[in-house]
Amino acid sequence: MAKKILTEHINVPGIETFDVYRKQGGYTAVEKAIKTMTPEEVVEEAKKSGVRGRGGAGFPMGMKWGFLAKPEGVPRYLVCNADESEPGTFKDHHLMKSIPHLLIEGMIISSYALGANKSFIYVRGELMYVIRILEKAIEEAKAQGFLGKNILGSGYDLELVVQPGGGAYICGEETALLESLEGKRGNPRNKPPFPAVKGLYQSPTVVNNVESIANMSWIINNGGDAYAAIGVGRSTGTKLISASGHIQKPGVYEIELGVSVDEFLNSDEYCGGIRKGHYLKALVAGGSSVPILPANLITKTANGEDRLMTYESLSDGGFATGTMLGSGGFIVFDETACIVRNTWNFSRFYHHESCGQCSPCREGTGWMEKVLHRIEHGHGSMHDVDLLVDISKKIEGNTICPLGDAAAWPVASAIRHFRDEFVWHITNPHEATQPGAVYRGEMELA
C-alpha cells in the first residue's frame, strides 16, 4: 500500500470531531511547531519538503512563503483557497468534509510560520454544508486552546475566518479571490504587485490551496526531508487525485507521486480500470483546463516511456504530446464519449465563468462556444475547425489571469488529437446530431 499522508485517518469514525482527530495524533504538529520551532524553522521545513501548490499551478509552497514581504507594523495574511470549481476536481471538497481538522491544523502551523494573526479560508459558496463543518471544527479547536489568543501559552494569537464565496469559478484565481474577500466582484488583479507584497487589504498575503496546507501537519511531525523522500525528483510527496468518468471506481485517491498512469487507471487499489466491456479513448489528467490526450499518449510518452503521475512526466512532450498534472482532476473517457460534445461542454463552462474583464477571454470564450455548438448540432463548416484553433491562439496568453489559457487549451488540444472527429461531425451532420452519436473512425484506440 502506498504511503498516506492526508487520508491515513480519513475513514476513522468520528474523525471530523476534535476528540477523535486528537486521539489519532492530531494537533501534535501545532504543539511541536509553536512550542519548539521558530516561524523561520517552520518555513525551512516547508522548503525542504519541496511540496508544490496543489491547486494546479504547482509552484513550490516554501519558496512562495519565502517571497512574503515583512514590513514593520503591517499585518500579514494567510488565505486558504478552497474555491475548488475546476470540472473534474473534488478532492478539497472530500478532504474538508471528511477531516476538517487536518486543514485547520495546517492553517495554524502555516499562519504561525508566516506571522499572520488573522487567516481566512475562502470556500466556494456552493459548499455551504462544508462551511458549517469547518466552522464547527474551528469552534472546537478554539475551545481547546489551539486557536484564539495566546495559543498554548505561547503568546501567539490567531483568528481563523471561514468566508463563503458566491458561485464564481474565477474566484479560484488568487487575486480574484482576494477581490472577492474584500467584498467585490471577482475580477483578477494585474500582477505585479504580487499578493506577497500587496495582497488582501493591500497587505502582504500568501494564498495556498487546501491540500497544500493540509500537508503541513505531516511535514512538521516527520520533517521536510522525509516528505521529500517520497515521490520522484521535483514531484515530492503524495497527491490527491479526483477520478471521474468511465471508470469502475470513481473517487478521491491519495497516490505517491510517481505511480504510473497505467497503474493508477487499472489497478484495483485506485480506479479499477475502464467500465466493463469498454476501452479507453481519451483522458484529461489534471482538471478540465489541461490538454486532453488520446489513449496512446496517456499511458506512454511520445518516446514510448511509461507516463508517470508526476508534474514532469505528464508534461513530457509539452502540449504537442503531453499535458499537465494540474489540480489532479482525472477524467476518463471510454469509446462512447463524444469529444466534440465534451469540448463544447467545457467551452460553455469557461464562457459562463469568464469574468469579462479582458476582451480576448470575454469575447473569445463565447465565440468558441458558439462555433462548437454549431458543429455538435450539425451546422458546422470545414472552416470552423481552423477558426477554433485561431480563436484559441488569440485568447492564450492575452489575458490578466490564466482563465483565458484554461479556456483555450481544452479546445486546442481536442482538435490537435481528435481533428478527425470534428471533421466527421461536420461531414455527417445528420448522424452527428443523433443523441450519443460518436465518431468511431480510424483513431488509435488502445
Partner 1 sequence: MTETPNLVAFTPERLEKVKEIIARYPEGRQKSALLPVLHVAQEQWGWLSSEVMDYVAGILSIEPVEVYEVATFYTMYHLDPVGKHVIEYCRTGPCCLMGGEDVYGYLKQKLGVEAGQTTADGLFTLKEVECLAACGWGPVFQIREQFYMNLTNDKVDQIIEDLSK
Q: How far is the CB of 152 from partner 1 (least distance, A)?
A: 23
Closest to 362 measured CA to CA, from 233, 170, 146: 170
Going 386 to 392 to 394 to 397, the CA torsion angle's sign is: negative
In whole angstroms, the minimum distance from the beta carbon of 331 to partner 1 comes to 6
Separation between Cα atoms, residue 160 and residue 101, nearest integer Å = 12
Pick the closer one to partner 1 by CB: 66 or 167: 167
Supply the angle between the helices 100-114 and 39-49 in degrees, to the nearest 10: 120
The contacts of residue 134 (CB under 8 Å, 6+ apart) are: 96, 100, 103, 104, 121, 123, 162
CA–CA distance, 411 with 387 (Å, rounded to integer): 11
Tell me whether residue 168 or residue 391 sits nearer to partner 1 (CB atom): 168
State the CB neighbour count (10 A cutoff) for residue 313. 22
CB nearer partner 1, residue 86 or residue 384: 86
Q: In the structure grid, which three cell numbers stand for residue 419, read together? A: 481533428
Cβ neighbors of 424 (< 8 A, separation 6 or more) are 432, 439, 441
β-strand 205-209 against 251-256: which pairing, if any? unpaired
CB of 144 closer than 8 Å to CB of 135 = no
Contact of 239 with 257, CB cutoff 8 Å: yes
| Residue with smaller CB distance to partner 1, 217 or 357 | 357
Comparing CB distances to partner 1, the nearer of 24 and 248 is 248
Nearer to partner 1, 118 or 362 (CB): 118
Which residue type does 54 have? Answer: R
C-alpha cell at 294: 488520446
Q: Give the shortest CB-201-to-partner 1 separation in angstroms.
A: 6
How many alpha carbons lie under 13 Å from residue 127 in its C-beta half-sphere?
24
Cβ distance to partner 1 smaller for residue 23 or 184: 184
Q: How far is the CB of 63 from partner 1 (least distance, A)?
A: 28
The distance of closest approach from Cβ of residue 267 to partner 1 in the complex, given in angstroms and rounded to an integer, is 17
For CA atoms 15, 20, 21, 24, give the dihedral sign: negative
**Rounded to an integer, what distance in angstroms lies between the CA atom of residue 133 and that of residue 16?**
8
Amino acid at 308: L
Single-letter code of the amino acid located at 104: I
Comparing CB distances to partner 1, the nearer of 321 and 342 is 342
The Cα–Cα gap between 69 and 440 comes to: 56
Beta bridge partners of 235: 232
> Could you tell me the three cell numbers for 304?
514510448
Residue 29 or 170 with smaller CB distance to partner 1: 170
Instruction: Quote the least distance from Cβ 365 to partner 1, whole Å.
Output: 13
Closest contact distance (angstroms) between CB of 57 and partner 1 is 18
By the criterion CB under 8 A, which residues form the site for partner 1? 75, 84-90, 92-93, 118, 124-129, 132, 159, 161, 163-169, 180-186, 201, 242-246, 250-252, 288, 329, 331, 333, 337, 341-342, 345-346, 348-349, 352-353, 355
Q: How far is the CB of 9 from partner 1 (least distance, A)?
A: 20
Shortest reach from residue 169's CB to partner 1, in Å: 7
- Smallest gap from Cβ 346 to partner 1, in A, equals 6
